[in-house]
């Protein structure tokens, strides 16, 4: 009888987000730029030559380890795991052998995988029941965001800090607008300014915000909290919002979460203060945001991942136009 994963948090992850394959990736990209016909052969040769050598952690490894540890809390009568991690990689089965080897070497309880030999891995997410897909491939991340199959993010390089995170907990930090919530409020902020944003958010504080690309993931995490023993306030899954919102735009966030029946452990309404300062203190296993201005400083301190806008997003165009204006007319002409 097929296993029912409807109550299980399923994380899909690329090999390059789980392990540090930057050297192999660099070899492929350099060869692909100069001699595309032989790039795959050279990459294969490198992976086979080094397949028995250990791999270092990728950006998402702290998150994966801590999530898998949650299964120790599973009720013995419950057949479905609390968390499942699936490796979904553009490697071929041959070059992916090194990844499988490392999973076994570390004794990671990851049993499902797919190696697609260059084909977009994103098309298999629905079949695996994936709730969140983490990747270093921007095309895959964009395709998932466009399809709305699940939450997806482009992981940044591992942080400079080598601090070991608490594996007895799993700590998530989320931006608010265009991540947990829809884009509408952020569009107003970007086009009409902060004063108008504050006015509208205060006026509409009793109207729940639209669901964003990470709304379903947050709700699934809330379900996971319910499956864990003890009161929700003491759950090993800790959820935090790190948002540039502040008063009078904060009440709508809390009221929206109440309407979703989601419990958030911590919320930070920062009003323009640098998020990385607070993330360094909160120590999340991963931080999700849509803007590089927040992610670039944060990624040096904590594992971080970028939530891309849908290709047809109004906000996508607004942010691109603003970036072009910063860089001047030459940049705008080059990008058109």
Q: What is the pLDDT of residues 145-166, one digit of tens each?
A: 999 999 999 999 999 876 777 8
Is 324 a member of any domain?
no
**Residue 136 CA: distances (Å) to CA of 100, 170, 179, 184, 280:** 18, 21, 18, 28, 23
Query: Are 104 and 177 part of one and the same domain?
Result: no
Q: Which domain range does residue 102 map to?
A: 9-155
pLDDT of residue 330: 58
Q: For residue 87, list its beta bridge partners.
A: 13, 113
Query: Are 186 and 213 part of one and the same domain?
Result: yes
Query: Are 128 and 22 part of one and the same domain?
Result: yes
Q: Report, in this order, helix, strand and coil percent for the chain, each rounded to 5.
A: 45, 15, 40
Query: Are 144 and 283 part of one and the same domain?
Result: no
Please tell me whether residue 78 adopts helix, strand or coil conformation.
coil
pLDDT of residue 1: 65
Which residues of the chain have a pLDDT value below 70?
Answer: 1, 162, 328-336
Query: Are 147 and 177 part of one and the same domain?
Result: no
Is 272 a member of any domain?
yes
pLDDT of residue 335: 38
Query: Are 137 and 190 part of one and the same domain?
Result: no
User: What's the rounded Cα separation, in Å, for the pair 22 and 28?
Assistant: 10
When divided into structural domains, the chain yields a total of 2
Query: Are 145 and 174 part of one and the same domain?
Result: no
pLDDT of residue 329: 61
pLDDT of residue 79: 78
Query: Are 197 and 310 part of one and the same domain?
Result: yes
Query: Are 176 and 314 part of one and the same domain?
Result: yes
pLDDT of residue 327: 76
Is 327 a member of any domain?
no
Query: Are 174 and 263 part of one and the same domain?
Result: yes
User: What's the rounded Cα separation, in Å, for the pair 92 and 44?
Assistant: 9
Query: Are 144 and 175 part of one and the same domain?
Result: no
Is 1 a member of any domain?
no
Strand 266-269 with 286-289, pairing: unpaired
Is 163 a member of any domain?
no
Is 2 a member of any domain?
no
Q: How many CB atoms lie within 10 A of CB 273?
A: 12
pLDDT of residue 168: 87
pLDDT in tens, 122-149: 899 999 999 999 999 999 999 999 999 9
Task: Share the mean pLDDT of the chain.
Answer: 91
pLDDT of residue 284: 96
Query: Are 25 and 52 part of one and the same domain?
Result: yes
Long-range Cβ contacts of 196-204 (<8 Å, 24+ apart) = 197/249, 198/248, 198/249, 201/245, 201/248, 201/249, 201/252, 202/248, 202/249, 202/251, 202/252, 204/252
141: nearest Cα among 323, 288, 315? 288
């Amino acid at each position: 009888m097929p296993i029912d994963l409807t109550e299980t948090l399923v994380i899909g992850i690329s090999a390059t987000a789980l392990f540090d394959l930057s050297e192999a990736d660099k070899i492929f990209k350099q060869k692909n730029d100069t001699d595309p016909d032989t790039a795959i052969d050279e990459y294969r040769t490198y992976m086979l030559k080094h397949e028995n050598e250990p791999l270092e952690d990728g950006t998402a490894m702290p998150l994966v380890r801590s999530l898998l540890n949650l299964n120790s809390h599973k009720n013995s009568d419950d057949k479905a795991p609390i968390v499942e991690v699936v490796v979904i990689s553009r490697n071929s089965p041959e070059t992916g052998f090194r990844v499988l080897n490392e999973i076994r070497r570390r004794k990671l309880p990851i049993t499902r995988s797919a190696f697609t030999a260059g084909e977009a891995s994103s098309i298999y997410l629905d079949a695996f029941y994936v709730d969140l897909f983490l990747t270093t491939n921007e095309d895959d991340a964009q395709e998932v965001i466009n399809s709305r199959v699940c939450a997806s993010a482009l992981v940044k390089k591992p942080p400079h800090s080598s601090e070991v995170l608490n594996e007895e907990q799993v700590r998530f930090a989320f931006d608010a607008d265009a991540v947990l919530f829809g884009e509408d409020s952020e569009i107003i902020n970007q086009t009409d300014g902060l004063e108008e944003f504050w006015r509208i958010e205060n006026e509409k504080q009793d109207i729940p915000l639209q669901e964003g690309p990470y709304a379903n993931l947050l709700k699934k995490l809330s379900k996971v909290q319910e499956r864990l023993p003890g009161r929700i306030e003491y759950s090993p899954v800790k959820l935090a919002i790190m948002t540039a919102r502040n008063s009078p735009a904060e009440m709508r966030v809390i009221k929206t979460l109440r309407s979703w029946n989601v419990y958030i452990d911590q919320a930070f309404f920062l009003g323009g203060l640098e998020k990385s300062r607070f993330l360094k203190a909160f120590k999340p296993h991963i931080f999700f945001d849509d803007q590089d201005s927040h992610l670039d400083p944060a990624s040096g301190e904590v594992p971080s991942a970028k939530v891309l806008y849908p290709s047809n997003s109004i906000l996508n165009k607004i942010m691109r136009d603003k970036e072009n204006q910063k860089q001047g007319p030459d940049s705008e002409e080059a990008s058109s």
